[in-house]
Amino acid sequence: MSMTVTTDDTADALDPPVQPRSLAPAAVTVAVAAGVLGHAVLGFLARDQGTGGTVLYWLGLLAIYGPVAWRVLAPRTGSLERAGLLLLLGEALLLTRVVLYPTAFVHHDELAHQALLNTITDDHHLFGATSILPVIAAYPGMEIVTTAIHSTTGLPAHLSGVLVLIVARAILMVAMYRIAGMLTGNDRVAGLAVLIYAANPQFLFFNSQFSYQSVALPLALLTVYLAAQARDQRGYGRTGLAIAAGAAVVVTHHLTGLALVAVLAMWWLLARAPWCQRVPRLGVTTAGVAAVLAGWTLAFGRELLPYLSAAARRSWLSLSDMVQGDSSRALFADPAGNPTPLWERTVALATVIIFCLGLALAALTIRSWAPKRSAAAVVAVAVGMAYPFIPAGHLTVATAEVTDRSSGFVYAGLGVVLACWLLSRRPFIEPVAIPERAALTAVLCLVFAGGVILGSGPGWLRTPGPYLVSAENRSVDTDNLTSARWIGGHLPPGGRVLTDRVNGLLVDVYGRQHPINNLADDVDMAALSKLLLLGPRPDDATVAKANHVDFLVADRRLSSSLPHVGVYIENGEVGSPGRTTPPPAAALIKFDDAPGAERVYDNGTIRIYDLRGLS
Amino acid sequence: MTKRELAARVGLLALGWLAATAGYAPTALRATAVLLSLAGTAHLVSRLLPSGPIERLLGALGFLMITAILGGLALDLLPAGLSTTTWATYFLLVGAAVLAVAHRRRQRASGTLPARRGRLGVPSAAMYLAATVLLGTAIVVAVAGDRGDDVAPVAISVIARRPSQVTVEVAAGVRTEGLALVVLGTQGTAAWRSPAFALQPHQPHHATVPLRPGRWRINLVSAGASPTDAPVRELIVDF
C-alpha cells in the first residue's frame, strides 16, 4: 500500500461510520486516571518514606501510554476520539509531573524562569535583569501568559504556570495530530505518528517543565499547521494568523524560533520545485516570521550569542576530549558514579536500535510509502532522518544536552516517517488483527519507556525523595527553601550571593538576591568557588571583596557527597572536572573565624554569612 | 447569536473584568470568574472557525495564547505595564472585539456542532465518573504529600540590630520537645541568657540580646543541656 499525500483535510472524511458508543474510551480514561493516581501515591511515599517505587513509577506511565496506544491504533476508532485520546495522553503525562511536585517548581530551568516571572510581576515590565540565565529575559513569551493568568486570577504563580503548560500541551498534541493527518491523509497513521512523538526523550521531562521551549514548541507546530491551512483559505486571514503565531514563537524561545524559520524556509524552497504542490502564501509566512526573528534578535538578542557560543564551546570541548580519549563521561552512570540499572540500559539501547532499524528500512523503501508531491512531507522525512544524532550525542555530556533538546523537533519528523512506513506494511494494513495491534502496542510501550529513560537521566531525578547533593529537584528541600524564604524576608533585595547551584536558584526565586555566576557576571569561577569549596585560605577575604560578595550561603551537606550533576556551583569551578572527593567540612564554616564576617542565619544545615563587613 | 446570548456573553466579560480588578474578592471566586470569561472568549473564537471540532479547539487555544503573548508585548509599552488592571482591560477588549465580530456574522457564527454519536450509556458515565474521582484523589494525595513548611527545621537568625543590642528570631515548623534558651557566649561562660521558652510550630520566638563591642557567638541551647554540650544552633556577630 502506498500512502498518498492529500492536500485536502480528509482525516475527518476517513472516519468510520457512526457506531454505537463504545465503552473503550471510558475504560482508557479510567486507566489513565489510575496511572496519574499511581504517580501521586508514588510522590507521597517517596517523600514520606523515602522509597523510590520503581515498579509503581513504570506501572503508572504504562497505564497511561499503553491503553491510549491500543485504542488509537484500533482501525475503528474515530478521528475525534483519537484526537481526544491523544489529548488525554499528553495532559496525563504532564500531570504525572505535576502531582510529584504539586506546589512549587523545583527543576533548574523552572526556577530560572520563575525568577524572571517574579521580576515581571514585581516591575510590571518585561526585559528586567535576571541572574541565572540572562538570555531568558529577552524571550518572555511564557512568562507573559503566566503573568496574565497570575495577576488577573490571583492564583499562585506555580498554579498559573501549570495552567499555561496544560494549554500549551493541548496545542502541541492537537497540532501534531492535525499536521500528521494533513501529511498522510490518514488519521490512524497520524495517531501513530503522535504516539511515536510522545516517546521522545524530552516529552515527559524537559518539555513538561515550566521552561520556554514547553510553550514555544506547541506554538511552532501551530504555526506550521496554520501555514499549511492557508491553502484552503482565500485572503490572508490564516497567513496573518500564521505570522502572528510565528512571532509568538520568536519572542518565546530563540532556538525554536530559529528552527521554525529553517523549516518554513526549507518547505518554501521545496514547494517551488515543479514536482511539488504549491502552498499559497507560504513565502509570505516564511518572510514574515523570518523578519520578526531578525528584528527581535537584533533588538533583544545581545545575550543570545554568549549563551549559544558557551553551549557550542562546551560541546566542542567535550567532543575533542572524547576524540582524544580524554572524556570524563561515563556512559550509563551519573557524575557521582551511580550506575543505570541493567534493564534500563537494555531498554534504552533497544529503543535506539528499533528506531535506527525502522529509519533504515523506511529509507530503503521510501518510494513505496512516502507521500507524493508534498514538500512538507519531504521536510518531515529530512527532519526525521536526523534521529541518529540524538543517541550519538549521548557520548558526551555537553552534546547530550544539545541533541536531547532537539528531540522535540526531530521526533515530529520521525513519527511521520515511521508511522507512514509501518502502516504501509502488509501486517498492519487495515483491518488490523488484534495480535499485530498488540505487538505494535508493546513495541510502542518499549520505545516510550526507552525515551523516558534516555530523557530522564538518572533514576533519582525522576521522583521526589531524600536530599541528594547537587541533584536538581532532589536538592530542593525544606531546609534550603526555609533559608531562601528567610533571605527574602530579612535581607535587602539584589545582594550578591555566592552559593551552590541549587541554593543559588532558590535565593534568586524566594530570596530576591543575585546569585553570582559566570554567565551573568563574567567572573573567574575557578577562583571564586574556592570561597565555598576549599578550606580556609589567606586570600579568602580579598577574593570575596574583589568579587563584591555580599552574602555566602553554605549548605553543610555539600561535604557529604560528590555532586550528582557533576558540579557544586557551575562549570569551571575549582576541582572540576574529574573531582574525586567532596569539599572538606571546614570549607563550609571557614568564615566563622573571618574578622568582619557574620553568621546571621543557622538552621543546622544552611548557614548564611554576611560578608559585607569583611576586613 | 440571540440577544439573550449576547447579553450573557457581555455579562460574562464584565464579570471577568470586575473579578480581576476587585482585589478583595476571594481567589477561588476571582479565578473562576476570570477563567470562565476567558473560556467564553475561546468558545466564541472556536465558533468563528469554519472547520471541525479538533481544529476549533486548536484555533481557540492558539488564539488565546498568541493574543496573550503579543498583547503582553504591547502592554509593556504602557507606563502601567503588565498590571492586573491593564491585563483585565486587555482581555475585556479582546473579548469585546471577538464578540463584535461574532455578532456581525450572526449567521456564520452559529457554526455547526459535531454530530452526536449516540448517548452516553450508564456504564460509560460511571467510568468517566470513576476517572474523575481518581484524578481528584491524585491531586489530594499529591498535595497531602507535599507538606513543605510543616517540617521546617529549627532556625535562629539575626533580624534586627540597634546600637547596643540585636534581635534574634528562633523559628521552626515542628514542635520541639522541652525548653530552649538563647545564650550569649557559651553555656558555661554565658554573658547573657534569655528566659527558657517552648518552641511552637509557626510561632517564632524573638529575643533581644544586649551586646557590647566585640565578636560574639549567640547560641540556641536546650534548657537541660550541660555546659559542655554543643549548641543546637549558633550565630556569630561582629559588633
Of the ranges A213-217, A332-336, A433-437, which one carries the lowest mean pLDDT score?
Answer: A332-336
**Residue for cell digits 456542532?**
B113
- Between the alpha carbon of residue A413 and those of residues A180, A383, A384, A610, the distances in Å are 9, 5, 4, 53
**Cα separation, A415 vs A200, whole angstroms:** 10
pLDDT for A186: 84
Alpha helices in A301-341 (DSSP H): 304-323
pLDDT for A6: 40
**Cα separation, A470 vs A454, whole angstroms:** 20
- Between the alpha carbon of residue B15 and those of residues A434, B30, B31, the distances in Å are 53, 9, 11
Q: Please give the average per-residue pLDDT across A182-189, as a whole number.
A: 85
Q: Please give the average per-residue pLDDT across A249-254, as a whole number.
A: 94
Cell of A255: 532556538
Chain B residues touching A178 at Cβ < 8 A: 54-55, 58
Mark yes or no for CB contact A601/B155 under 8 Å.
yes
| A538, burial (CB in 10 Å: exposed 0-12, middle 13-18, buried 19+) | exposed
**Cα separation, A244 vs A232, whole angstroms:** 18
pLDDT for A329: 55
Q: How confident is the model at residue A293 (pLDDT cuts 50, 70, 90)?
A: very high
Which residues, numbered 191 to 250 in chain A, qualify as contacts with chain B under a Cβ-Cβ cut-off of 8 Å?
215, 219, 222, 225-226, 241, 244-245, 247-248
Mark yes or no for CB contact B118/A167 under 8 Å.
no
Q: Per-domain residue ranges for chain B?
A: 3-115, 150-238
- Cα A51–A53–A56 angle (5° rounding)? 155
Count of A-B CB contacts under 8 Å: 263
Which residues, numbered 47 to 66 in chain A, qualify as contacts with chain B under a Cβ-Cβ cut-off of 8 Å?
47-48
CA A50 to chain centre: 26
Backbone angles phi, psi at A17, to 5 degrees: -60, 155
**Residue for cell digits 507546530?**
A221
**Residue for cell digits 533519582?**
A460
Of the ranges A22-26, A95-99, A307-311, which one carries the lowest mean pLDDT score?
Answer: A307-311
pLDDT in tens, B152-171: 888 999 998 888 888 999 98
Mark yes or no for CB contact B69/A95 under 8 Å.
no
pLDDT for A296: 92
Task: Indicate whether A250 pLDDT > 60.
Answer: yes
Which architecture characterizes domain A472-610 according to CATH? Answer: 3-Layer(aba) Sandwich (3.40)
How many CB atoms within 10 Å of residue A331? Answer: 11
**Residue for cell digits 550569542?**
A305
Ramachandran quadrant class, B111 (left: phi over 0; alpha: psi -120 to 50; beta: rest): left
- The predicted complex's ipTM stands at 0.88
Q: Please give the average per-residue pLDDT across A385-400, as a whole number.
A: 77
Residue type, A367: R
Mark yes or no for CB contact A145/B65 under 8 Å.
yes
Mark yes or no for CB contact A141/B173 under 8 Å.
no
Cell of B9: 456573553
Positive or negative: CA dihedral A246, A249, A254, A259:
negative
pLDDT for A245: 95
CA A163 to chain centre: 17
Q: Which residue of A has its CA nearest to B127?
A: A26
CA A84 to chain centre: 23
Bridge-based pairing of strands B192-193 and A551-555 is unpaired
B233 → closest Cβ in A27, A167, A602:
A602
Q: Which residue of A has its CA nearest to B149?
A: A478
Chain A residues touching B238 at Cβ < 8 A: 595-598, 613
Q: Please give the average per-residue pLDDT across A137-161, as a whole number.
A: 94
Bridge-based pairing of strands B179-184 and B155-162 is unpaired
Half-sphere exposure (CA, 13 Å, Cβ side) for A432? 26
Chain A residues touching B180 at Cβ < 8 A: none
Three-state DSSP class for residue B202: coil
Which residues, numbered 554 to 593 in chain A, qualify as contacts with chain B under a Cβ-Cβ cut-off of 8 Å?
592
C-beta separation of A479 from A471 below 8 A: no
How many CB atoms within 10 Å of residue B110? Answer: 13
Average pLDDT across chain A, whole number? 86
How many CB atoms within 10 Å of residue A594? Answer: 20
**Cα separation, A358 vs A493, whole angstroms:** 55
Task: Please tell me which residue, A126 or A460, carries the higher pLDDT value.
Answer: A126
C-beta separation of A36 from A94 below 8 A: no
**Cα separation, A111 vs A130, whole angstroms:** 11
Q: How confident is the model at residue A4 (pLDDT cuts 50, 70, 90)?
A: very low
Task: Indicate whether A281 pLDDT > 90.
Answer: no
Q: Please give the average per-residue pLDDT across A432-461, as a whole number.
A: 87
C-beta separation of B187 from B146 below 8 A: no
How many CB atoms within 10 Å of residue A169? Answer: 26
Q: How confident is the model at residue A5 (pLDDT cuts 50, 70, 90)?
A: very low
pLDDT for A189: 87
Cell of A252: 518565546
Ramachandran quadrant class, A604 (left: phi over 0; alpha: psi -120 to 50; beta: rest): left
Chain B residues touching A600 at Cβ < 8 A: 157-158, 235, 237
Closest CA to B102 of B51, B54, B40: B40
Cell of A602: 543557622
Q: Please give the average per-residue pLDDT across A579-607, as a whole number.
A: 90
Distance from CA of B5 to the nearest CA of A (A): 24
pLDDT in tens, A30-65: 999 999 999 999 988 887 776 668 888 999 999 999
Mark yes or no for CB contact B118/A20 under 8 Å.
yes
Chain B residues touching A125 at Cβ < 8 A: 76, 81-82
**Cα separation, A273 vs A320, whole angstroms:** 40
Chain B residues touching A248 at Cβ < 8 A: 65-66, 69-70
pLDDT for A323: 67
CA A424 to chain centre: 32
Which residues, numbered 487 to 516 in chain A, qualify as contacts with chain B under a Cβ-Cβ cut-off of 8 Å?
490
Distance from CA of B3 to the nearest CA of A (A): 28
**Cα separation, B200 vs B194, whole angstroms:** 17
Alpha helices in chain B (DSSP H): 3-21, 27-48, 53-75, 84-104, 106-109, 122-145
β-sheet bridge partners, residue B207: B168
pLDDT for A7: 37
Of the ranges A124-128, A403-407, A482-486, A535-539, which one carries the lowest mean pLDDT score?
Answer: A403-407
β-sheet bridge partners, residue B206: B169
pLDDT for A232: 61
C-beta separation of A418 from A195 below 8 A: no
Which architecture characterizes domain B150-238 according to CATH? Answer: Sandwich (2.60)
Mark yes or no for CB contact A482/B236 under 8 Å.
no
**Would you call A299 an interface residue with chain B, using a CB distance cutoff of 8 Å?**
no
Residue type, A576: S
Cell of B6: 449576547
C-beta separation of A387 from A493 below 8 A: no
pLDDT for A373: 73
C-beta separation of A609 from A552 below 8 A: yes
Mark yes or no for CB contact B65/A20 under 8 Å.
no
Chain B residues touching A215 at Cβ < 8 A: 65
Helix-then-strand count for chain B, H and E: 6, 8
Three-state DSSP class for residue A548: coil
Q: Please give the average per-residue pLDDT across A287-296, as a whole number.
A: 94
pLDDT for B87: 95
Chain B residues touching A33 at Cβ < 8 A: 130-132, 134-135, 138
**Cα separation, A418 vs B87, whole angstroms:** 44
- Between the alpha carbon of residue A359 and those of residues A348, A362, A415, the distances in Å are 17, 5, 10
C-beta separation of A186 from A421 below 8 A: no
Chain A residues touching B130 at Cβ < 8 A: 30, 33
Helix-then-strand count for chain A, H and E: 25, 5
Cβ within 8 Å of residue A343, ≥6 positions away: none
pLDDT < 70: residue spans in chain B: 106-119, 147-150, 175-177, 186-188
Task: Indicate whether A246 pLDDT > 90.
Answer: yes
Half-sphere exposure (CA, 13 Å, Cβ side) for A126? 28
Mark yes or no for CB contact B57/A490 under 8 Å.
no
pLDDT for A379: 86
In chain A, the percentage of residues whose pLDDT exceeds 70 is 90
Q: How confident is the model at residue A326 (pLDDT cuts 50, 70, 90)?
A: low
C-beta separation of B30 from B23 below 8 A: no
Cell of B52: 471541525
C-beta separation of A124 from A95 below 8 A: no
Task: Indicate whether A366 pLDDT > 90.
Answer: no
Q: How confident is the model at residue A430 (pLDDT cuts 50, 70, 90)?
A: low
Task: Please tell me which residue, A442 or A402, carries the higher pLDDT value.
Answer: A442
Question: According to CATH, where is 3.40.50 located in chain A?
Answer: 472-610
